């Protein structure tokens, strides 16, 4: 999972058609990418379940390590939280303008992939660029930490410069040598391609005044501005231990299902013959043994069967520790209790996960808002700095449709105008295209009703006053 040659690849000013300062930034970004590459590859391996049991002592047999035991805990650690961070769209006065530039469906799909990489590698990156001939006017791309890196600006609290590695090659020393790199700075966006031993660069001016690159970060801090991975050192240790328990359990299962019987007083010839028929002896319901040459009848016995309970208890203990560390419910790691739990107990078990999801949505919402303004700027919108566009996420509590509908109806009984909002119909479970049709029909119905009332009032106003009859005298 690590590179054979840890030497970092760098370029000299003579290899690029850039000035010395630009080459220094390029090399610093390459060094940042290569420095974290091995740890990111390791995290991806844990996420995909491609790690093998680690030998805890030298006496562990090789067959134990070659059983192919796989743990899905790394994927669970990431996916359970990623499934709670669901982008539904954008709200605000400029949301329609954003959707006319970049389809919201593509942004939703892109975010779903990016948040998984963010939680696996501590961060992911979204970039904005103008499309070439035959492409959309503005293109939004996502990059994992495996193929992107950035330098943090402590003063401005944003990215100072970043790169996305589009293509790589592996040299004879085992180093990953990038051959196509896009670099993002405050003033320019660079497209750098390696041709032979030199680099050719296309430079595009950036009028936004900041790199067209935005990070999605999980749990950033002052000391780790690009966040931390969900697959932490503690999580990796628990997965390693669980893999070892799984390996030992498989070996024990063989002895657990295969009865260990023995015979005393068997001559050598019979013992050799029986050793050749192990499977038949295991399957036979009756064992026939003749007396030995001394006339003694062999004595049959059976060893006590091994139990799987210690291994089950050990794995359950590790599962509970893992669930606590990853803030996920126990049933996600396969620990299910016999007695059904109440709804309050189920909510309490998910409380920490809900808090984590709210934090992810809050931080990623800020990043997505910045990306939306980048898109508007790239499309030439003049009000991109003050644009009213806010990401909208699904409720992390994941309430049922019936609960949402009941909530919406109760709110509407207290505030009848609530049924005229989009959120009311979202609570009822309708998708945005259906809501658009419903609201359009409601507006048309309101217009027809208003016109009908106006016509009735006009007709009433035109009617002449009725003359009074003889019995209409006023009695005062």
Convert the pLDDT of each residue in 362-390 to its tens digit. Answer: 999 999 999 999 999 999 888 888 899 99
Q: Are 171 and 149 in contact (CB under 8 A)?
A: no
Measured between alpha carbons, how far apart are the two ends of the chain, in Å?
A: 105
Ordered per-residue pLDDT tens for the chain, 476 residues: 344 444 677 888 777 888 899 999 999 999 999 999 999 999 999 999 999 877 555 555 666 566 778 899 999 999 999 999 999 999 999 999 999 999 999 999 999 999 999 999 999 999 999 888 888 899 999 999 999 999 999 999 999 999 999 888 887 777 778 899 999 999 999 999 988 888 999 999 888 889 999 999 999 999 999 999 999 999 999 999 999 888 888 877 766 766 667 667 676 776 676 666 655 555 555 566 667 667 676 777 676 767 788 888 999 999 999 999 999 988 888 877 656 566 676 677 788 999 999 999 999 999 999 999 999 999 988 888 889 999 999 989 877 677 777 777 888 788 877 777 877 877 777 777 778 788 788 788 878 888 888 778 777 776 666 666 555 555 44
Q: Are 14 and 34 in contact (CB under 8 A)?
A: no
**Kind of pairing between the strands at 188-195 and 390-393:** unpaired
pLDDT at 188: 93
pLDDT at 316: 92
Q: Which two tokens stand for residue 4?
A: 């054979």
Q: For residues 313 and 320, give the distance between their C-alpha atoms in angstroms, rounded to a whole number.
A: 11
Q: Which two tokens stand for residue 424?
A: 């009311």
Q: Are 229 and 120 in contact (CB under 8 A)?
A: yes
pLDDT at 162: 97
Which candidate, 186, 103, 129, places its Cα nearest to that of 379?
129
pLDDT at 3: 43
DSSP 212: S
pLDDT at 4: 41
The answer for residues whose C-beta is within 8 angstroms of residue 340's C-beta and 6 or more apart is none
pLDDT at 476: 44
CA atoms within 13 A on the CB side of 79: 11
Q: What are phi and psi of 129, to 5 degrees?
A: -150, 160
pLDDT at 135: 85
Which residue has tokens 């808090």? 355
How many Cβ atoms sit within 10 Å of the Cβ of residue 265?
14
């Amino acid at each position: 999972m690590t590179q054979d040659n840890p030497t970092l690849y760098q370029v000299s000013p003579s290899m690029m058609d850039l000035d010395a300062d630009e080459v220094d930034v390029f090399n610093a970004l390459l060094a940042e990418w290569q420095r974290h590459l091995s740890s990111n590859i390791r995290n991806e391996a844990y996420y995909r379940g491609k790690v093998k049991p680690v030998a805890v002592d030298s006496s562990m047999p090789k067959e134990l390590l070659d059983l192919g035991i796989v743990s899905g805990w790394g994927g669970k650690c990431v996916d359970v939280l990623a499934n709670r961070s669901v982008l539904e769209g954008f709200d605000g006065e400029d949301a329609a303008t954003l959707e006319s530039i970049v389809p919201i469906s593509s942004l939703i799909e892109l975010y779903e992939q990016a948040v998984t990489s963010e939680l696996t590698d501590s961060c992911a990156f979204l970039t904005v660029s103008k499309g070439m001939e035959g492409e959309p006017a503005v293109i939004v791309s996502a990059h994992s930490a495996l193929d992107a890196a950035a330098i943090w600006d402590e003063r401005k609290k944003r990215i100072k410069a970043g790169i996305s590695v589009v293509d790589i090659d592996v040299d004879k020393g085992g180093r990953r040598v990038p051959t196509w790199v896009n670099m993002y700075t405050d003033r320019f966006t660079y497209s750098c391609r390696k041709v032979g031993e030199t680099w050719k660069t296309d430079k595009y001016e950036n009028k936004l005044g900041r790199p067209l690159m935005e990070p999605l970060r999980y749990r950033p801090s002052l000391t780790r501005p690009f966040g931390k991975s969900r697959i932490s050192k503690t999580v990796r240790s628990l997965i390693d231990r669980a893999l070892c328990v799984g390996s030992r359990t498989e070996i024990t299962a063989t002895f657990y299902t295969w009865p260990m019987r023995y015979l005393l007083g068997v001559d050598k010839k019979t013992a050799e013959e029986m050793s050749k028929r192990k499977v038949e002896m295991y399957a036979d319901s009756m064992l026939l043994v003749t007396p030995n040459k001394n006339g003694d009848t062999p004595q049959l016995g059976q060893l006590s069967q091994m139990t799987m309970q210690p291994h089950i208890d050990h794995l359950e203990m590790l599962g509970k520790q893992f669930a606590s560390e990853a803030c996920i419910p126990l049933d996600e790691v396969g620990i299910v209790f016999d007695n059904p739990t109440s709804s309050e107990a189920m909510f309490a078990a998910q409380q920490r996960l809900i808090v984590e999801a709210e934090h992810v949505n809050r931080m990623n919402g800020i990043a997505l808002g910045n990306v939306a303004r980048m898109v508007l700027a790239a499309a030439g919108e003049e009000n991109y700095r003050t644009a009213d566009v806010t990401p909208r996420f699904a409720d992390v509590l994941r309430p049922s449709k019936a609960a949402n509908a009941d909530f919406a109806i109760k709110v509407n009984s207290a505030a009848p105008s609530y049924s005229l909002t989009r959120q009311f119909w979202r609570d009822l479970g309708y998708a945005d295209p259906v809501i658009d049709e419903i609201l359009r029909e409601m507006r048309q119905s309101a217009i027809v009703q208003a016109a009908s009332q106006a016509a009735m009032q006009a007709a009433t106003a035109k009617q002449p006053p009725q003359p009074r009859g003889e019995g209409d005298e006023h009695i005062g």
